[in-house]
Chains A and B, each alone.
Chain A
């Protein structure tokens, strides 16, 4: 039979589109000391785990990060293009681009292709002169500013953890990192399409830095031991 059939949605003729999988959990939230970005690293093709080591955080420039959910190629291509546009802005205006402007550039770029099958759900995270910035941008044309977003098949599980964790105001950097890590772990526990490792980044006034990479199964052992 047709080997593409497993990857395609049902339907005949030219309308049959390749089904991209939003099997992922990515989240980002603002707190007192910047923005925490946490993602899983699993890529699935149907029920097959294609990879457990996907990099779902795209480093746009030293102070801007983008997350990846949806089509991997769409995300990395368009965010790479965004990095180019951000650099051009810097050269033209002799100052760093704001997170709002960067996210607007991305949103306007993909809006041109609305309805043509792009699949991208990304969070643009950074720090500019107005402080920490966090925007959700997707291929449908959504662009929303907020303090907390979770994107992907495991997003709802992640929301549960972060919403309840953020109730206590004023987290330290370490507490916030733990919260992000925990939220992704919980999502990978329940969502079959999320797993692998938790990649954690922290964005602050000087830029971003990679905090940790933790294997989900190791985290499981650790949390189980803590419970006992």
Chain B
């Protein structure tokens, strides 16, 4: 029901998430932000079971910030992704596993932009583009077809819009709006919410 997408360019990562917080068949909230700022240049997008999402994401967020306070410098996106995965893995075979699916997007001074795909079974993969949710089935092929590593910001935005429009067209659930953010060497930028035409 929820949807996350990330697209990596040459010197940026573009991410988007839907804004609906649903409870059975009702939309409890239509402007929910599913992105958690781990640091100035790292975002964690989190969907999954109610409660687990916020609790896990905030736990990771606070620990990343604690690392910065203790050591004087921040964890890189790669390190943050592996830290997150390790936590997921440690809880996986406990009585209380976190049932969450994640995308971690970040920009590193030396390595450049990075997008990491993580799922509830604690898999971790660095990928040029990724998506979570039922909407992923409809949009991954579009990403496969039109993605290029040298996409400009506008081209990546157009590709994102193509995906959202496909959801609007074919996905049975109405997702009226999407939060969009871009991470580059200057930090995280909030972009305008994407509202597919025809949706209220």
Which A residues contact B (CB, under 8 angstroms)? 107, 111, 114-115, 136, 138, 140-146, 149, 155-156, 159
CB-contact partner of A142 in B25, B51, B96, under 8 A: B51
- Does A143 contact B28, Cβ atoms closer than 8 Å? no
CB-contact partner of B54 in A114, A143, A155, A159, under 8 A: A143
Closest to B51 in A: A141
Asked if B49 is at the interface (CB within 8 A of a chain A CB), the reply is: yes
- Does A149 contact B28, Cβ atoms closer than 8 Å? yes
**Interface size grouping (class) on chain B:** 10 to 19
Chain A residues whose CB sits within 8 angstroms of the CB of B26 once the complex forms:
155-156, 159
Interface string of B34-60 (1 = CB under 8 A from A): 000000000000000111101100000
In whole angstroms, what is the CA distance A107 to B50 when docked? Answer: 11
CB-contact partner of B28 in A107, A111, A146, under 8 A: A146
Q: Total number of A-B contacts with CB less than 8 angstroms?
A: 37
Interface string of B15-36 (1 = CB under 8 A from A): 0000001010110110010000
- Does A114 contact B28, Cβ atoms closer than 8 Å? no
Q: Which A-B residue pairs are the 4 nearest by beta carbons?
A: A141-B51, A142-B50, A140-B50, A144-B29
In whole angstroms, what is the CA distance A159 to B24 when docked? Answer: 14
Provided the pairs A142-B51, A144-B29 are in contact, do residues A115 and B96 lie with their beta carbons within 8 angstroms? yes
CB-contact partner of B23 in A107, A142, A145, under 8 A: A142
Chain A residues whose CB sits within 8 angstroms of the CB of B29 once the complex forms:
144-146
A-B contact pairs, 18 of them (CB 8 A): A107-B51, A111-B51, A111-B55, A115-B96, A136-B28, A138-B23, A140-B49, A141-B50, A141-B51, A142-B21, A142-B23, A142-B51, A143-B51, A143-B54, A144-B28, A145-B29, A149-B28, A156-B26
Known: A144-B21, A149-B28. 14 other contacts (CB 8 A): A111-B51, A114-B51, A115-B96, A138-B50, A140-B49, A140-B50, A140-B51, A142-B23, A142-B50, A142-B51, A143-B54, A146-B28, A146-B29, A156-B26
Closest to A145 in B: B29
Chain B residues whose CB sits within 8 angstroms of the CB of A114 once the complex forms:
51, 96
User: Interface residues of A: mostly helix, strand, loop or mixed?
Assistant: mixed
Closest to B21 in A: A144
Chain A min CB distance to B31 (Å): 9
Chain B min CB distance to A226 (Å): 29
- Does B32 contact A144, Cβ atoms closer than 8 Å? yes
Closest to B32 in A: A144
Closest to A110 in B: B51
Closest to A147 in B: B29
Closest to A159 in B: B26
- Does B21 contact A141, Cβ atoms closer than 8 Å? no
Chain B residues whose CB sits within 8 angstroms of the CB of A111 once the complex forms:
51, 55
In whole angstroms, what is the CA distance A114 to B96 when docked? Answer: 8
Chain A min CB distance to B49 (Å): 7
Chain A min CB distance to B51 (Å): 1
In whole angstroms, what is the CA distance A48 to B113 when docked? Answer: 61
- Does A141 contact B28, Cβ atoms closer than 8 Å? no
Chain A residues whose CB sits within 8 angstroms of the CB of B51 once the complex forms:
107, 111, 114, 140-143
Q: Most chain-B CB neighbours within 10 Å: which of A107, A146, A156, A159?
A: A146
